[in-house]
Amino acid sequence: MTTHTDEILVLGATGKVGRRLVRTLRAAGRPVRAASRSGAVRFDWTDRRTWSAALEGASAVHLLAPEDPALAALFVKQATEAGVSRFVALSARGIDQVPPRFFPGMAAAEEAVRDSGARWTILRPNNFSQNFDEDVWHAPLRSGHLALPIGAVPEPFVDVQDIADVAAAVLTSDGHHGRVYELSGPRALTFEAAVATIAEAAGRPIRYTELTPEEYKADLLAAGVPEETADELNAMFATMRAGHFAEPGTGVREVLGRAPVDFATYAARAAAAGAWD
């Protein structure tokens, strides 16, 4: 059996970013450990017995933040002791603008890699375009109606493949230590315009309705979302309404030397794959 000592441990490997990152790294011939609770390599934040086997042979880690902030520094310390010398932490744009009680795991993961003594890079993406076809807004769009409390503030949605391409580049090339990259699409558009773009690409009517934060919270609670999560999501929309990350970020071009994927291109590709049929 060959034992690698230069493998890249990808946490969240079955998720939207992680599975694209695994594919991208493997296509470039890099050895990858694809880890999550249901991944090829078992890794569970809440079961520390899974950590050391996941870290075996890894020299770099793509770090998805844990929910429990206390786990971030513990994991990063264990990883550096196991030989990891490079971290890429997937965070979020605006994380330094939301009240600290929200998304504490992400803030802790950023802090842990900064304090690690290893090379580190932080990726702060905007809202993902793929939330519309692979995640939370998919079912509402298929039913023909999305309702959120965002107002007319535009959002420069980022294509998840761009995040994966940036993560792959940062994990496998030098010059990114200590950098925080803000990742977005090339232009900001309102949610109403995003839904109209999708409706046109899908060739069917889909409506967008504006909600108050109170109406949004009531909808989430009625759908069985825990109150804490509903408040966290409302805090994220409040940060977005304040316009803190409405301007496109420059990270995709800085790292990849090319323009990010535009929302209309994303929508056309997803529609062609039948996302909203």
Ligand X SMILES: NC(=O)c1ccc[n+]([C@@H]2O[C@H](COP(=O)([O-])OP(=O)(O)OC[C@H]3O[C@@H](n4cnc5c(N)ncnc54)[C@H](OP(=O)(O)O)[C@@H]3O)[C@@H](O)[C@H]2O)c1
Residues forming the site for ligand X (CB under 6 A):
12-18, 36-39, 43-46, 64-65, 90, 92, 125, 127-128, 131
Burial 92-126 (b: 16+ CB within 10 A, else e): bbbbeebeeebbbbbbbbbebbeebebbbbbbbbb
**Which of 86/94 has CB closer to ligand X?**
94
Q: Smallest distance, Å, CB 53 to ligand X?
A: 13
**Which of 90/202 has CB closer to ligand X?**
90
Q: Order the strands of the 119-125 sheet from edge to edge.
A: 41-42, 32-36, 7-11, 58-64, 86-90, 119-125, 179-183
**Which of 15/260 has CB closer to ligand X?**
15
Instruction: Give Cα separations from 239 to 54, 155, 213, 214, 217 (angstroms).
Output: 35, 11, 12, 16, 16
Secondary element (H or E) of residue 161 = helix 160-172
Q: Smallest distance, Å, CB 203 to ligand X?
A: 25
**Which of 9/271 has CB closer to ligand X?**
9
CA distance 139 to 59: 39
**Which of 118/160 has CB closer to ligand X?**
160
Helix (H, G, I), strand (E, B) or coil at 117: coil
Under a CB-based contact definition with an 8 Å cutoff, are residues 191 and 261 in contact?
A: no
| Residue appearing with tokens 């109606």 | 145
CA distance 43 to 48: 8
**Which of 68/115 has CB closer to ligand X?**
68
**Which of 151/204 has CB closer to ligand X?**
151
| Residue appearing with tokens 């790294």 | 25
CA distance 147 to 213: 11
Give the number of C-alpha atoms closer than 13 A to the C-alpha of residue 17, restricted to the C-beta side. 27
Q: Smallest distance, Å, CB 137 to ligand X?
A: 10
